[in-house]
């Protein structure tokens, strides 16, 4: 069974840079995924457990985290959290952005 919640996603576009802002409620998670390149993520508020390829590390805001290429990662909110994924891309269509950025 799959439960979908509204993460309050806000798309931010600049010259060659994209940021996805998400509100991750306590005890919820962002689905495991990977990217074919390194990218930064920013925990702006809250506390999360970041799982990367089976290893877990807790982060408390504020935190800026490098996520390596081709590593499956999942964000689990320990507290209500605001998370930003930062990507280098020229894509500016919020309907296509996940298709362009997410692999595997």
- What contacts 67, CB < 8 A, 6 or more positions away? 35, 38, 39, 40, 41, 52, 73
Q: Report domain extents, the chain.
A: 10-101
- Percent of the chain surpassing pLDDT 90: 70
The residues facing 73 across adjacent strands are 33, 52
DSSP 1-48: ---------EEEEETTEEEEEEEE-TT-EEEEEB-SS-EEEEEEESEE
For the cut 70, the answer to whether the pLDDT of residue 1 exceeds it is no
Q: What is the predicted pLDDT for the residue at 103?
A: 64
> What is the rounded average pLDDT of the residues 91-97?
89
Element (H, E) at 100: helix 97-101
Which pTM was predicted?
0.88
- Percent of the chain surpassing pLDDT 70: 94
The residue written with tokens 């269509």 in the block is: 93
- Assign domain 10-101 to its CATH superfamily: Jelly Rolls (2.60.120.10)
Q: What is the predicted pLDDT for the residue at 101?
A: 81
């Amino acid at each position: 069974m799959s439960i979908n919640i509204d993460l309050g996603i806000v798309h931010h576009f600049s010259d060659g840079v994209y940021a996805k802002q998400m509100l991750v409620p306590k005890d919820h998670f962002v689905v495991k995924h990977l990217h074919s390149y390194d990218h930064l993520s920013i925990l702006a508020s809250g506390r999360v457990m970041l799982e990367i390829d089976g290893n877990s590390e807790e982060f408390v805001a504020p935190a800026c985290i490098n996520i390596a290429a081709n590593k499956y990662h999942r964000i689990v909110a320990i507290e209500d959290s605001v998370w930003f994924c930062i990507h280098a891309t020229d894509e500016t269509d919020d309907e296509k952005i996940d298709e362009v950025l997410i692999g595997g």
